[in-house]
Structure 1
Amino acid sequence: MRTATIHRATSETTIDVAINLDGTGSYSVETGVGFFNHMLEQLSRHSLVDLTVKTVGDLHIDQHHTVEDTGLAIGQAVAQALGDKRGIRRYGDALSPMDETLTQVALDLSGRPWFVGDLPFTQKRLGEMDTELFAHFFHSLAQTAGLTLHIRTLYGDNNHHIAEAAFKGLARALRTAIEIDPRKADAIPSTKGTL
């Protein structure tokens, strides 16, 4: 089983993450930010990655540290669970429609963290979550997972749909990338021999 548990504690947040890459999409998420919980639940359900997240952050200041550090911890858990990445497909992509919104996600578990995003929000908040924090979450996740991640909203008007299509697209692309390729289950998917 490709699993990991992470405990991250700073003066700003305390986070516990458990992950099972070969799960069924079951989740238990508590971050103190309702809309963020909803997005992480979508990530788990549609990637089939089991995810437990318990974050206690300094929400009396704002949500920045809570969202950023949760992204860092989840990314760290993904990297740890993947190990040397032997046998994975490595690449994943998805087109994610949600009503009037269409989002494109492409990723590479390359070990080279990078995030490029186009998330054209037209309001500052969804529920109580600051919309600028979505890109920050994706950047933090990519950083510690060693993930090259591109998310592009092709079109869309509803801010809720723009956010949710991005998370569902990420989930579907990640699901493909972490799957074991039966044709090369014993090989590192790189000509360098390491990722």
Structure 2
Amino acid sequence: MKKSHLATALFVFLAIFISSEAQAQFRPRSRSAMRHNHRMAPGKEMLGLRFGGNLDAEKYLIGAHLYLPAGAFWNFVPGFEYYFMPEESRYDRWQFNGDLVFKPRPAGLLYFGGGLAVDYRVADAGKNSTDLGGNALVGLEFGRPRSPLKLYVQSRWTFMDDTYFSVLGGLNMALR
């Protein structure tokens, strides 16, 4: 793993730890206080579908993810994408992600974050390859704070042997 990827991962994990300690100090003491103060209430678990394109490689993708609350402002978002490759490429490409997303206002539009990316290529000839890297992302989520459905658009940079820029859109659906 490159030193810059290791430094990025260390920064993200320190930010999570420091933020969770700070959030614990301001957490409402009762469920009724949490219900009336929606800005501090943790988010919902959501299942998301995504589609988009890798603009650098001109490839389209589809995928899915889970949106798991990790605090009042943080969400852990594991997911995967399948890239539509041309026939002459002779391999299938999958990307698996584990991103941490920060929303400065839980009921707001803007979010940003980053995380780990694993690129897996399944070749027709049996020579599979795996590449490890990182993601940086920024996006907007549209929908009412308590709505079971939310639309989103997202820009994502993936840093591996090459750097890829993708534009994604999709739908998040509440699981409960």
Which bin holds the TM-score, normalised by the shorter protein? under 0.3
More helix by share: 1
Give the structure with higher Rg (CA): 2
Question: Whose relative contact order is higher, 1 or 2, with alpha carbons under 8 Å and at least 6 apart?
Answer: 1
More strand by share: 2
